[in-house]
Structure 1
Amino acid sequence: MAGPKSTAAFERAKQVLPGGVNSPVRAFKSVHGTPFFAERGEGPYLYDIDGNRYVDYLMSWGPLIWGHAHPQIVSAVQEAAVKGTSFGVPTELETQVAEKIVELVPSIEVVRMVNSGTEATMSAVRLARAATKRSYVVKFIGCYHGHADHFLVKAGSGVADLGLPDSPGVPKETAERTIAVPYNDIDALRDVFLQRGEEIAAVIIEPVAGNMGCVLPKPGYLQAVRELTRSYETLLIFDEVITGFRVALGGAQARFGIEPDLTTFGKVIGAGLPVGAYGGRRDLMELIAPSGPVYQGGTLSGNPLAMSAGLVSLKMLEAADKTGFYDKLQAYGQQVVDAFVDHGKQHGIPTYGHALGGLFGLFFHDGPVHDFESARESDSAMYERFFHAMLDAGVTFAPSPLESAFVSGVHGDKELDITLSAISSVFRTLGA
């Protein structure tokens, strides 16, 4: 459980912040706990205000691919801050980061910087609607694309039912323009296109579903989605807020050999600082103001602190990729998954998992997990026990059973040994 200082800090925060937090999952409600409050991070470790140290697989929900407070990234931010934190006019840094993204991601010719993944996905959908002159968007159940109104929907009783608002404050009329279908079910998507194909502006998808616990696409699934969208002249948007520069240098699209029309990125391109981006083909991106009529702007877009950190991080990834960086991340994550599954078998507890690049997912389920429904069948009560026991052992995962875990480039043999030892001891208590 959270220490006394964190407990007190949470009570204080609840007086002035909704639920005591600035993002819901931080409240630890999914695991019925009190959150610990971070004091600092260093490499693969996170330290709380009660003096506890954790091997961190949260990594600020993914963007810290070089761990906490990497010296080169910290130095870049410090140097930028001395010059100024925001200018309101262009800087060369923005161009340099955009050039690097274009160089590393073949489907992207032009990039627009924004301030978050939500801004990126929201803007990409607006662009798709403008480009196609259509209004409907298809998303996949369990895939999260931020909190814009048209993404906060859930499917009805049938796979092709129109979305209903999944949050108060979202107008029914807005939600009705979003259609939700099961992930990894190409027949369900085909049915939707047979009904409304000529009205669908875009299909937006997490190529690897990171918000239901790292669920991988079935072989050939993404290729089929690409072929279907192309046949209806519908734009395909890859939401790579989680997978971008995490599962491969060129993102999931490089890993699976797919070229989407538009791509969105999140804070990984800023090494964890607030930033997002969307990009794609030149003919589409030049519809964005001031080149074209589709308006989108942001006072802090391309902020020099985020651009400085991101440029250093991307260059580090480019160099590391030449020495098998992403294979090393995956090998590490796979060892955690294998230990989790093996100890589950030893103690008669259903377990399942996936690993890809710097992502991995752990499920208390006998598998396979291939969509939101099967992910939701995972034993959440068992995950809650596992989460708190691992936290007591000095290892932190996401405080939710439907989230991915993240490996950074600074997790090493020492951290792996701590993690595997903790898993072994924790399963002895879970199986008791």
Structure 2
Amino acid sequence: MAGKRSGNTLHGTSVFFLCIVFFFCALNTAAAERVIDFQGAGRSAVKAQQRVQGKADVMPAPPSSQEIRVGLLLGQKHVLVSSDTGFSLVENASGKVLMTIAPHTAVEIESGKMGLLWNGEPLTGASFRLVPQDPACVFQIGEGHYRGSFLLRVQGESFDVIEQVALDDYVNGVLAEEMPASWHLEALKAQAVAARTYALRSKAHHRSDGYDVCTTTHCQVYGGVDSETAATRTAVQTTAGQILTYAGEPAETLFHSDSGGMTESREALWGDGVPYLVPVEDEVQKTSPWQTSFAEADFLKKLAVAGKDVGALQKIELSPLVIGKSDAYRTPSGRVSRMVIHGSNRAATLTGSDMRSIFGLKSTLFDVRREKGEIVFAGFGSGHGLGMSQHGAERLAASMKYDAILAHYYPGTTLEVLP
């Protein structure tokens, strides 16, 4: 995920140039396989930028269905920006080009009491765009590298940087953050389609914030160009524009780390289901085994903090785990639907999700036992269990193509190409 930088307002020419030196030195720590590695221009950004007079240029069109807006850096006080091909500073309201910035030239953007400062000079307005001179341009913003254009939005005494980027470039920055880039290409391709579809489906998540998706697990983890590798770029390119649909709309392509042997039903977990998020068996069961234990006193204390104070523990009511078998306590996949903890004061009924949240469990596919003064949880898998199991996809990739993997985990969906 892109690093966020903040600090007090800088004053004086010497401090500014020290900051520029630090900025370009930091570039040498770039990760392997980065697409672009800028070299410092060694020129004053103030002298290199050229103010444009006369008729205003037209700003870029709003994002299309194949572009996405990323809440990249929020609540910033200070950031350094440069690019490899040069860019323009555009007033957002009018579309007027205020100045152009030469390639490899760093610009210092700060928040001031009256708005933004551009290399120490105030900008009049509440929002601006950074528009590349070349579509292949790569920006360095703070410590990360990104494609597309950028909205600078004043928010009180700070500002936000919102990236407008082509959908597949966004997926390039997501893929290795959500699945190891060393995994089988067919698994990476399946993840690329799932991530692309999920992005389109998730556009409403941050609509009230003025962008489509964030950079965290609330949406999908996004690292920009620095997260790209040769393998992930191949996976994105060979599935370019492909998404999963159901009834003509992007499907809800949820995914998780490892199912433990069977995926979960959306209805069983959240109460409302869709036909393609249903329990699906994985080839190998009881994968990613885990165990964690708590002293009985700590177990009861955590319950009390969560508002479930039962008093002294008497018994735990839960059926044994059998993957793929449901009963009054378990869902069709075998995950815990509910369990009852009996104490001297009262009995408390908790869902599997409650237990996972309270005790930090890896999944709800677990057994629980009382043993020598401890409460022991033993289970399988990792994550909520909905949709594609990423470890499962990696196992299936040895014998399946990505489209078959997707059909396995999202039955009834259709693989389509965006227009």
Which protein shows a greater Rg?
Answer: 2
**Larger strand share, 1 or 2:** 2
**Larger helix share, 1 or 2:** 1
Normalised TM-score (structure 1): 0.25
